[in-house]
Chain A
Amino acid sequence: MALLRVIRTAVRWLSLALLAALVITPLAQITMRGIFNVPMAGAEELARYFLIGLTFIAASYVTEQGGQIRMEEFQGLIPPQPRWLLQLLIELSGAVFFAVMCIAAFVTIGKNLQNQTAVMELPFWLFMGPLALGSLLLMVETLVMLVHTWRRRRPEEKQTVLT
C-alpha cells in the first residue's frame, strides 16, 4: 500500500505539471508568434503530446476518485447479491480491458521503435509511452477496486463524482 500511495502522489504531481504545460504551451506560441514574430514550429505537436499525457496519466487518478462517468440508476434496482457480483464483473472486465490496452501499447511501441513524430522528432516509445503507462496504472487502480469490492462482500453505492 505504501508503494501505491507513492505512485498516486507521483501521478497527481505529474498530472499537475502536464496541465500547467498544456496551458503554457499555446501562450508561449502566441507570444513568440505575435510579439517576436518567431512562431515555434513544434508548439502544436507539443501541446497535443501534453494532452495525451494528461489524459492517460491522470485517468488512474480519476478512477481512484470515482470520476469515471457511469449510469447507476438501473444497477440500483438489482438486489444486493447479484449487484455485488455485477460490480465484481465490471471491475474484473475493466482490469482485463486496461491490460489489453497496455499490451496493445507495448506491441505498437515494439513495432515502431525506429519511428519519430513529424515535427519534434520525439521517439515513438516516448509518444506512445503515456498510453502504456496510463493503461498499466488504470489496470492497477481497477484491481485495487476489485479487491476492495471482494473484501466488502456486499455492493457499494457507486456514484459518479463529477467535480
Chain B
Amino acid sequence: MEGFLVVLAFLGLFMLGFPVVLAIGIPCVVYIFANGLPIDLVAQRTLYALDSFPLVAVPVFLFVGSLMNSAGISRYIYQFADTAVGRMPGGLAQVNIFGSLIFAGMSGSALADIGGLGRIEIDAMRKKGFSGPFAAAVTSSSAIVGPIFPPSIPLIIYGTVTGVSVIQLLLGGIVPGLLCVAMLMLMTWWLAHRRKYPRAARWPTRAELWRDFKPAFPAIVAPVILIAGMLLGWFTPTEIASVTVLYAMLISSLFYRELTWKGVLDAAYETIRASAGILLIVAVAALFGWILSVESVPQMLTGIMLSISTNPYVLLMLVNVLLIVVGMFLDSTTAILVIAPIIAKPLVAAGVDPVHLGMVVVFNLMIGLLTPPMGLALFLVADIAKVTMKDVLREMAPYYIPLGITLLLITYVPQITTWIPRIALGS
C-alpha cells in the first residue's frame, strides 16, 4: 500500500511542476523517515545506481551528437540526403527523414538530432515554402529513429536496468529503425501528393550523387565500423561511445577541418547539461525502484497482469496501452527506469523475448517524446522552429499513424527485432 502511495505522490508532485528529481526523491525520503529506515539508504542507493559501466555511454553518446552538430557533420549529412532523395515526392521532408537515419548511425539521441540536424532542416524547409509547423512535425517524428537505430542511449539504459544484453538490443534496433523510416517516408509521400509539396526539379546525376556522398561517407560508414568492432570483440557497447567520439573528432579535424576549440567546448557544455540532468534522475530513481521492490509492487503488478491473461500477445497489448499513457506523462529515461523492471518480469515469464520487449518498450516511449503534455521532442522542436506546440501537434497528427503501425509491427512480429541479433550472435 505504501508503495502505491509513493507512486501516487510522485505523480502528484510531477503534475504540480516539481522537477522530476524532486518529484521522485521527496516521496522516497518521506517513506524512509516514516518507516524509520537509516538515512544512509538515500546515499547508498543513489550513488550505486551510477556505479554502472554501461551508463558511462550516456554522456559520451550525447557528446557525439553535440560534436556532430558543432563540427558541421550534420550539414554534410543533410547535403547528401538532399541530393539523394530531394526529388522524391515531399522533397525536403523526405530529406529530413533520410538525414535522421544517417545521423542516427552515430548519435543515439533524438534531442541531439533535433537540436543540430533539425535546425538546418527546418530552416531549409521554410526557405523552400514548407510551413514551420510541418517542418517541425517531420523533424521531431523522424528524430525518434536516433534512439532506435544503433547506437541508442535508451536501449543502453534499458539493458542496464533489466540485465538484457546491450549488444543484442542495439543489433535488434536496426530493422525497426529502417522500418520506421520507411513508414514515415510513405506517409510523407502521401501527404506530398495531397498538398503538392515542392521537390527537387530532377533526380541527381551520378556525378552529383558521388560529389555529396564523399563528404557524408565517414558518417554513413560509422555504424558499420561500430557494429563490426562490437561483433569482433574489439570493444564493448560502452566503449563504442568513446570510439565514436574519437572517430567524430578525427573526421572533423582531418576530413572536414571545421572543428574549433570553441566548438568542442560548446559541445562539451551542452553534453554536461543534458547528461547530468538525465543521470541525476537515474540516481534518484534507483531509490524509488528499491522502495517499490521492498513494497512488492512489481510482484503485485505481475499478479494483476497475469490474472488478466497469460497470452503474450494480450500482455504486449496491455504493455503498449500502459506505456502510451506513461509516455505522455514521464520522460523516457524516467519511464524506462521506473516501468521496465516492473513489466519485464511478467512479460518474460509469459514467453516474450527480452530483446523484443526492450524494443517495444523503447519504441513506445520514443513515441512518448512526441505526445503532450511531457513531449520533450515537441518542446525542443517548437522552440527551434519558433512555432506553437498546438500548431506542431496539428501537423504531427498524420505522423502518429506510421509510428503506430510501426509499433504494432514491432510488437506483433518479434522477428523484426530478433532476426539480426539471431543471425549475428546466434542467440
Contacts and interface: CB of A to CB of B under 8 A. Distances in A.
A and B found bound together:
yes
B39 A71 contact: no
A30 interface: yes
Contact of A94 (B22, B43, B265): B22
Contacts of A90: 16-19, 22
Nearest to A74: B15
Interface in B389-416: none
B155 interface: no
A58 interface: yes
Contacts of A26: 56, 60, 235, 238-239, 241-243
B43 A74 contact: no
Contact of B279 (A44, A51, A93): A51
A52 B271 CA distance: 15
A136 interface: no
A140 interface: no
A77 B274 CA distance: 27
B29 A100 contact: yes
Interface in A39-53: 44, 47-48, 50-52
Interface stretch (B84-92, B302-310, B346-354, B371-379): B371-379
A71 B29 contact: no
Contact of A69 (B47, B243, B281): B281
B17 A72 contact: yes
Contacts of A127: 47
Nearest to B38: A107
B380 A163 contact: yes
Interface residues of A, number: 60
Contacts of B242: 23-27, 30
Contacts of B279: 51, 54-55
B17 A108 contact: no
Contacts of A29: 239
A5 interface: no
A70 B280 contact: no
Given A59-B280, A104-B43, A163 B273 contact: yes
A86 interface: yes
Given A52-B51, A59-B276, A61-B272, A30 B60 contact: no
A26 B61 CA distance: 13
Contact of A68 (B14, B20, B268): B20
A56 B199 CA distance: 48
Nearest to A134: B280
Given A22-B60, A68-B19, A69-B281, A108 B275 contact: no
Contacts of B39: 100, 103-104, 107
Interface of B: 14-22, 25-26, 29, 39-44, 46-47, 50-53, 55-56, 59-60, 63, 66, 111-112, 115, 234-235, 238-239, 241-243, 245-246, 265, 268-283, 329, 331, 334, 372-374, 376, 379-380
Interface of A: 12, 15-16, 19-20, 22-27, 29-30, 34, 44, 47-48, 50-52, 54-56, 58-59, 61-62, 65, 67-75, 86-87, 90, 93-94, 97, 100-101, 103-105, 107-108, 111, 127-128, 131, 158-163
Given A16-B265, A62-B277, 14 more contacts: A16-B269, A26-B239, A27-B242, A29-B239, A54-B275, A55-B280, A69-B20, A69-B281, A71-B15, A75-B17, A90-B16, A94-B18, A128-B43, A131-B46
Q: List the 8 closest A-B pairs by CB distance, nearest first.
A: A75-B17, A58-B276, A68-B19, A104-B42, A104-B43, A26-B242, A55-B279, A108-B43
15 contacts: A16-B269, A27-B239, A50-B56, A54-B279, A55-B50, A67-B276, A69-B334, A75-B16, A90-B17, A101-B25, A104-B43, A108-B44, A158-B17, A163-B112, A163-B380
